[in-house]
Amino acid sequence: MIKNILYIFRNKKLISKIFVVKNYFILWFFILIIKPISFYRYRKKKIYFFQDRDFGIDNAYFLYKYYIKNHPQITSIYLVKNIKDAEYKDLSGDKNIVYNFSLKHFWYFILSEKIIYSFDTAPFYFFWKIWIILKKILKPKTKLIFLWHWVTRVHIPFFNKENNNFNLFITASKHEKKFLDDNFWYNRETAVTWLPRFDNLYNNTIRKKQIFFFPTWDNKLNWLSDYDFLNTDYFKEITSILNSEKLSDWLNNNDYLMYYYPHQGISRYIHLFTIKNSNIIILQDLNKNKVWISQLILESTILITNYSSIVFDFAYQWKSIIYYDIWKDHYDKKAFYYYFFWEHINTISALIYNLNWIVKNNKLQIEKYKNNTDYFFQNIDWKNCERTSILINNL
């Protein structure tokens, strides 16, 4: 909880800090006072509350769309930050969406029978611990369903069973489930249904001449000054890729574009990156660029990353994945399944070689990595939302 408070106060302006604290105190008040009072009145009404991260649609969004279409008897509510954001264009005119920190947000959140979300501390932030205490005191019948926005790679103590009371923890594979059960001490709470957002990827035939460059973040780099960040291997490696003449020539010769999406953890340092190559685009503002993450995953033919869980979205579509080691010794050998969809490289020359192989052979995956995809998922279809909904409805 302390880390969440520090994050908010270090990363937001004063007015934003006051706004966040004020609204979560209102939410706390609703939980304490309104929910017990309104329980009797709304006891027969089924309300499911869906929420993703503030900066993009994810598993909760695709599951929400499934519920709207297939379970009209349930009042499904989806929380959005700003309906004008490019990713929410399909929700324009949807009467079941509520806006962040609005009265409807609080009301439906309190009355919901099941809260379904995909991002670590959302929707509670630093009131997560308070919620757990209140849950034990009031013994509400609310069920918490955690969809996870990534595939588990490392042990994060915050998500240990003793620190949470998830009624259902959705996983993407039996290998991930075993990792969670062994390292986070879950058992009956975890279930393999695969991720709801994978339904959007099944049988996708879009193959643009487009590369998605998405190196993920390391918390060790948090709170560095601009000067210190400029001297990190992370910054130097990414800059060398973005401004590589060899890569620029390859993109030009093969008529490819490359989109670089900076991880949210790097937002405070975006101004430090400069690009000389016109065929490489930094997505500093998704709305301004009129593009969003789910679109890039669907349209891009090749992914370059260090260890982002987006590798599983590309693997689900049989697309090419290139692991570029941004810095050394950052792979966790426990989660072996994270890194077996392609070769690991750490030079521009090796990157160009792999790109040439992919284009020349017109193959999305080498056969042995295709077998690894089958091994990890076991089941690639369009019924991920259906499997997940069955478990949720039976809680």
pLDDT band of residue 66 (cuts 50, 70, 90) is very high
Tokens of 379: 């089941």
Give the whole-number percent of the chain exceeding pLDDT 90: 34
Secondary structure (3-state) at 220 = helix
Buried b (16+ CB within 10 A) or exposed e, 165-188: eebbbbbbbebbbebbbebbebee
What is the C-alpha to C-alpha distance for residues 159 and 185, in angstroms, rounded to an integer? 10
- Domains of the chain listed by start with CATH number: 2-199+383-393 (3.40.50), 208-377 (3.40.50.12580)
What is the C-alpha to C-alpha distance for residues 81 and 102, in angstroms, rounded to an integer? 10
Contact 214, 310 (CB under 8 A): yes
How high does pLDDT run on average in the chain? Answer: 80
Half-sphere exposure of 289 (CA within 13 A, CB side): 15
Placement of tokens 């966790």 in the chain: 332
The top-scoring range by mean pLDDT among 30-44, 159-173, 251-265 is 251-265
What is the C-alpha to C-alpha distance for residues 38 and 148, in angstroms, rounded to an integer? 30
What is the C-alpha to C-alpha distance for residues 41 and 336, in angstroms, rounded to an integer? 50
Which residues touch 75 (CB under 8 Å, ≥6 apart)?
Answer: 45, 46, 47, 48, 96
The top-scoring range by mean pLDDT among 99-103, 147-151, 209-213 is 209-213
pLDDT tens sequence across 125-164: 445 555 555 544 554 678 889 998 878 777 777 777 777 7
Residue length of the chain: 395
What is the C-alpha to C-alpha distance for residues 214 and 101, in angstroms, rounded to an integer? 30
Contact 185, 206 (CB under 8 A): no
Tell me which of 36-50, 66-80, 130-144 is least confident.
130-144
Contact 319, 358 (CB under 8 A): no
Contact 282, 260 (CB under 8 A): yes
pTM: predicted TM-score of the whole model, two decimal places: 0.84
Buried b (16+ CB within 10 A) or exposed e, 192-202: bbbbbbbbbbe
Q: Cis ω on the peptide bond leading into residue 36 (within 30° of 0)?
A: no
Bridge partners (DSSP) listed for residue 344: 323
Tokens of 373: 């995809």
Tell me which of 128-137, 208-217, 282-291 is least confident.
128-137
